Amino acid sequence: MVDQGFDVKLATDCKDDWVVIPRRKRLDADKWEIVHDGRPDIDYMQVDYPYQRPYDRSCGLHGAEWKRPDRAEIMIDDCPTMQGSCYFMAKKHWDFLFPNGLDDANYGTFTQEAQEISMTVWFTGGRVVVNKNTWYAHFHKGKRGKGYGFSNDQYKRHMAGVERGRVYCINYWMNTQDYKHDFKWYINEKFPDSPGWENWEDRIKVDAPKDFSATYAEKGYEPTW
């Protein structure tokens, strides 16, 4: 479900090197109506510190809701990353950044799309912004989408691909020097108030060896499920 004229509103406030995301509401897909349960709309998302919990494969540079009530009146504002289900950018800029499409070889076909796009934009000198003047409503499948109709073997291969993409995303973006900006700029200068990133350069030396895949790599085999 989308706001009337959402595409025009996004295009009107989109510079050549921007990605623009609308405000996100919650959709009741059975009733096809917006959920009104007291929770605020989602405007901002940050990237999580990837080693929050030892040996937990659900950790990574994933997008997480970032509540910023102090910026509620700023209608078009910088955003570290996005959820990935709705975004707008100029086709010319897409073709410039991704001439061969997204990187399925390293990320796989089903993981980290939002981080690949948003970090490429930020690191090359562009902006990811939220436009609160328009909205879309998103249905979160949760357990209703688990498995996607896969056989057990297909699901194992799918999860192995997700894991490889998770690890690649962490290692690439936290270390790359391929762009105008790097990860230290992204966290320390551009979004220094990102929750969970306090003293991250010291913490990561201790936490990274406890990543889920790192423990398996030491044993010489890949994880399976």
Query: For the chain, what percent of residues have pLDDT higher than 70?
Result: 92
Taking 90 as the threshold, does the pLDDT of residue 145 lie above it? no
58 lies in some domain? yes
> Would residue 1 count as lying in a domain?
no
Q: Identity (one letter) of the amino acid at 32? A: W
Q: Look at the block and give the residue holding tokens 């690191």.
A: 123
Instruction: Name the DSSP class of 48.
Output: P
Position 52 pLDDT exceeds 90: yes
Report if residue 222 sits inside a domain: no
- Domain assignment present for 225: no
Q: Is residue 121 part of a domain?
A: yes
pLDDT value, residue 221: 41
- Model pLDDT for residues 173-207, shown as the tens digit of each residue: 999 999 999 999 999 999 999 999 999 999 999 99
pLDDT above 90: residue 158: no
Instruction: Examine the pLDDT at 216 and tell me if it is beyond 80.
Output: no
- Structural domain including 125 reads 6-217
User: Does residue 217 have a pLDDT over 60?
Assistant: no
Per residue in 18-40, pLDDT (tens digit) is 999 999 999 999 999 999 999 99
Rounded Cα distance between 103 and 94, Å, is 13
Helix (H, G, I), strand (E, B) or coil at 174: helix
Number of domains within the chain = 1
Euclidean distance between CA atoms 31 and 27, whole angstroms: 9
For 135, phi then psi, to 5°, come to -155, 165
Q: What is the pLDDT of residue 225?
A: 39
Mean pLDDT (whole number) for 7-11: 96
Q: What is the pLDDT of residue 73?
A: 97
Q: Is residue 223 part of a domain?
A: no
The answer, yes or no, to whether residue 144 has pLDDT greater than 70, is: no
Please state the pTM of the whole predicted model: 0.91
Question: Dihedral of CA 63/127/79/198: which sign?
Answer: positive
* Residue whose entry in the numeric block shows the structure tokens 């623009």: 20
SS3 content of the chain, % helix, strand, coil (to 5): 40, 15, 45
pLDDT at 143: 65
- Buried b vs exposed e over 124-161: b needs ≥16 C-beta within 10 Å? eebbbbbbbebbbbbbeeeeeeeeeeeeeeeeeebbeb
CATH code of the domain covering residue 155: 3.90.550
Write the pLDDT tens digit of every residue in 86-143. Answer: 999 999 999 999 999 999 999 988 889 999 999 999 999 999 999 999 999 999 876 6
